[in-house]
Amino acid sequence: MFSVLLPPQTGVEGAPLMWFGLIGSVALLFLFFLVFVVKQYKRCPSNRVLVIYGKVGANRAAQCLHGGGKFVLPLLQDYAFLNLEPMVIDIPLQGALSLNNIRVNVPATFTVGISTDAVLMNAAAERLLHLSEAKVQEQAQDIILGQLRLVIATLSIEEINKDREKFMSLINENVTEEINKIGLALINVNIRDITDESGYIEAIGKRAAAEAINRARVEVAQQERDGATGQAIADRERNIGVAKEAATSATGQKEAEQQQRVAVAAFEADAIKGEVEAKRDYEIATAERDAETVAAKKRAEQEQRVQVASAESLAVQGENRSRAEIAESNAQLAEVRAEAKRKAEVAAAKAEENIFLAQREQEIARLGKDELAPQEIEKQRIEIEAEATAEQARREARGEADALLAKYTAEAEGVRKVLEAKADGYRNLVAACMENPQIAPTLLMIEQLPTLVAEQVKAIQNLKIDKITVWDSGKGGGGKHGGTTADFLSSLIGSLPAMHELAEQAGIELPAVLGSVSKNETAAKKAAARPARSERGAVAGSKDK
């Protein structure tokens, strides 16, 4: 602030001087304020980015402006500029490993610059502010070099050499994504040349050139053949047309028909002769052209095979060298890893030893404090388990007893109902047989007859007869009886009790449908059975002797 000190004036003459001094002080103060405002108002050129940092707002590190201006608050804010001029970065990439393990050299030039996008400007202000251009180029070069190696590793030599559009697209995509993280934008990419150490790309070019030359030679031979063929056809048509015109003119000359016919015949003979000679010459020329074409094609194929074999040999040698370098690098890496693993194991063992010592101290303290509590808990647990086991056994026994009681009760009820049903049946049977009381026992006997027969069969089912020998005198049945063998079989069958005899022994009478046997026949059968038994006894006695 400036002020003008004037001596005090009195009277009417001193008043103007005092006002003049006050106006001068205000003017000087306004001029100083105007200069200060102009100095603190910062304008941004078109080729730069104005970065205002300090107290610029909550959760913001800086405020970036491209164009326009901004007032910078003194003591609270400060400013700096980021240059938007493009930076040219040379990438001398050597020995990048491709997808088919062939190392290639891809020298390139990248043009980058700080982006004017709002997000990218903030990223550049956070990471590149106050850095020199050389430092910025160094960071960008490292990022681009890594991404370029990554792109080459995903493509084969053929894809890199032929599909340049795909190669450039992948480079633009990967490099742009990475350099955007530090606020840079990719402006241009220029791949100067692509070579490889093994000469594979050069061999591919030579092979393509040889194929193009061979195709051109074949096309030239085909065009020459087509030209010769067209010329021969034109000559033949011309000769035929001349012959036709000559014949037409000769027919008009009636007074010289004989000479005309002779001339026409001569012309036709000459035409045929010329056609034959032209066709022969054409065939000879065509055969020679074909032979030359085949020979040239064979020579080109031979050269192509030699060049391809040479290129493949160089590629194999390069691959072998690459594999050897990789194996050596892997061996060194394995040694470093083994040493690091050994150190890590030693450190882990020491740490584990310390842990065990601490755990030992903690276990000793815990046992000293809680030694009796686990025993008491175990005792209560055993008692509870024993009580639960006993209760389970009691409930199981009670359940088994209830089940057994229910089973026997059900069986008794079933037997009772069966007996009641049988009693009802017997009462109904007796009531039905009131007129003839003999029928009821007979029916009951018939009901039990299968059981009785089964019991009779059991009497002889356990007899084991391995062999039966019968001595027969050989005499026929002259008398009343048959032979000895027949008597033996009939007596063996008759030894089983008959149905009617069984019913007679039980005191019942079978129904009429089963037939009847008189008492005389029964007595005769019994009398016939006795001699048979005595005869069997005699046979048995003779056999024992």
Looking at the predicted structure, is the pLDDT value of residue 473 above 60?
A: no
Q: Dihedral, CA atoms, 504, 507, 513, 518, nearest 10 degrees?
A: 40
Is the CATH code 3.30.479.30 the one for domain 80-197? yes
Residue 428 half-sphere exposure toward CB, CA atoms < 13 A: 6
The answer to whether residues 5 and 25 touch, using CB atoms and an 8 Å cutoff, is no
CB neighbours of residue 449 within 10 Å? 15
Residue 71 has pLDDT above 60, yes or no: yes
In the predicted structure, residue 40 carries a pLDDT above the cut 80: no
pLDDT at 396 over 60: yes
Q: What is the C-alpha separation between 263 and 245, in angstroms, rounded? A: 13
| 8 Å CB contact between 121 and 64 | yes
Q: Which whole number is the average pLDDT over 511-522?
A: 54
Q: Name the band, by pLDDT with cuts 50, 70 and 90, for residue 144.
A: very high
Which pLDDT does position 493 carry in this prediction? 47
What's the pLDDT tens digit per position in 169-226? 999 999 999 999 989 999 999 888 888 876 666 666 666 667 777 777 777 877 877 8
Using one digit for the tens of pLDDT, what is the confidence trace for 449-472?
777 777 766 766 666 666 666 555
Encoded tokens for 206: 């030579």
Per-residue pLDDT at 80: 87
Mean pLDDT confidence for 127-150? 90
Domain ranges of the chain: 80-197, 202-363, 370-432, 439-458+482-544
Residue 471, H or E segment: none
Q: Which residues contact 82 (CB under 8 A, 6 or more apart)?
A: 48, 49, 51, 64, 114, 121, 124, 125, 128, 129
The stretch 440-444 carries a mean pLDDT of: 69
Q: Which long-range contacts (CB under 8 A, 24 or more apart) does 123-126 make?
A: 123/180, 123/181, 123/182, 123/183, 124/49, 124/64, 124/82, 124/182, 124/183, 124/184, 125/49, 125/51, 125/53, 125/61, 125/62, 125/64, 125/82, 125/183, 126/61, 126/62, 126/183
Q: Which parts of 433-518 fold into alpha helices (H)?
A: 439-461, 484-494, 499-505
Which positions ≥6 away from 315 have C-beta within 8 Å? 102, 198, 199, 200, 203
Neighbour tally for 279: CB within 10 Å: 12
pLDDT in the model for residue 129: 87
Q: Can you give the pLDDT at residue 535?
A: 45
Which range of 43-52, 360-369, 371-380 scores highest in mean pLDDT? It is: 43-52
Q: How confident is the model at residue 109 (pLDDT cuts 50, 70, 90)?
A: very high
**Would you call 453 exposed, middle or buried from its count of C-beta atoms within 10 A (0-12, 13-18, 19+)?**
middle
Pairwise CA distance, residues 169 & 148, whole Å: 12
Average pLDDT, the chain: 75
Least confident of 16-25, 151-160, 247-256: 247-256
Q: In the prediction, which pLDDT does 179 show? A: 92
Q: Are 116 and 67 in contact (CB under 8 A)?
A: no
- Asked whether 109 and 83 are in contact (CB, 8 A), the reply is no
pTM, two decimal places = 0.36
pLDDT at 107 over 80: yes
Provide the percentage of residues in the chain whose pLDDT is more than 90: 8
pLDDT at 128 over 90: no
Q: Report pLDDT for 496.
A: 43
3-state secondary structure of 94: strand
| Per-residue model confidence (pLDDT) at position 359 | 80
Q: What is the pLDDT of residue 357?
A: 83
Pick 485 or 532 by higher pLDDT. Answer: 485
For residue 477, the SS3 value is: coil
Strand 48-54 with 77-83, pairing? antiparallel
DSSP 154-209: TS-HHHHHH-HHHHHHHHHHHHHHHHGGGTEEEEEEEE---EETT-HHHHHHHHHH
For residue 540, pLDDT over 50 is answered with: no
How many angstroms separate the CA atoms of 193 and 104, rounded? Answer: 10
Query: For the chain, what percent of residues have pLDDT higher than 70?
Result: 72
Other CB atoms within a 10 A radius of the CB of residue 322 amount to 17
Count CB atoms within 10 A of the CB of residue 168. Answer: 14
Give the pair of three-digit tokens for residue 268. 């036709």
Helix, strand, or coil (residue 105): strand
3-class SS string, 49-84? EEEEEECCCCCCCEEEECCCEEECCCCCEEEEEEEC
Per-residue pLDDT at 523 exceeds 60: no
Place 68 in a pLDDT band, splitting at 50, 70 and 90. Answer: confident
Which of 40-49, 370-379, 513-522 bottoms out in mean pLDDT, i.e. has the lowest? 513-522
pLDDT at 112: 94
Helix (H) or strand (E) holding 127: helix 118-128
CB 510 within 8 A of CB 525: no
Query: Which pLDDT does position 10 carry in this prediction?
Result: 46
pLDDT of residue 141: 92
Please state, in angstroms and rounded to a whole number, the distance separating the CA atoms of residues 237 and 229: 12
Statement: residue 516 has pLDDT above 70: no
pLDDT tens column, 481-490: 555 555 655 5
Q: How far apart are CA 78 and CA 72, in angstroms?
A: 7
DSSP 270-298: HHHHHHHHHHHHHHHHHHHHHHHHHHHHH
